[in-house]
Structure 1
Amino acid sequence: MTQKIVAAACRIAQGSTGQLYLGNMQIQRDWGWAPEYVEAMYLMLQQSQPNDYVIATGESSSLEDFLAAAFALVDLDWRHHVVIDDSLLQPTDLAVGRGNPAKAKNKLGWQAQYKMQDVVQMMVKARLAKSVQ
């Protein structure tokens, strides 16, 4: 979903007339940065005893917040380019995804450095750089 949003925002900013079709904009997720999560996995593997950890930023944001941030980074208002399509609604979709990473911080010394706004910014920057090549 995140790649779809970022790709559409960048494509539209570069002159595409297409629109982005999405379902439920109110779902909330803990949008983290995958390379940091891999670091957490590595730290888990270094422990002498196996254990369960929640790897998350500890902050949830709506899909609409993610979308607005992506489009704002390319100087666009998402409301002019996004169509809510009821056929994309997923009734079994989790309304709010939120993780508590306290144990990972206490036991592994791991804490997410990048939050949703940072993730969006890095994704948009990478996509724009890719399209210039």
Structure 2
Amino acid sequence: MTKTRIERSDREWREMLTEEEYRVGIREGTERAFTPGNHNDEKRDGLFHCKGCDTPLWSSEHKFDSGTGWPSFWQPASEGVVATKTDFKMILPRTECHCAICGMHQGHVFKDGPPPTGERWCINGVVLEFRPAE
């Protein structure tokens, strides 16, 4: 998937997002685990789109119940839509993931997931919009 990179000013982000979406997606925060409506319990077939640019980032085909209280996936929906960087905000470094198109913070990826990748992409549902399959 090739899509043009989207750049927005802080003012533009603040105008288009709720306070919580901005805190999590732009300020790289984390929503509380088991937050109602965060898509953790979403079981339907479909795609989870980035609220910042509408890019489909995650597929229900790759979703699993990690028991953590956040939507978890064993891989992104397609190659090149999610980028990573090292996050040093905690004592130990973690791998942060964000939308490769608009840069919106998604969550973190860990090496304790299920086969076939062994990865757990732990995602903040507040930065996603779910679209069920037709």
Q: TM-score, normalised by structure 2?
A: 0.22
User: More strand by proportion, 1 or 2?
Assistant: 2
User: More helix by proportion, 1 or 2?
Assistant: 1
Which has the larger Rg?
A: 1
Q: TM-score, normalised by structure 1?
A: 0.22
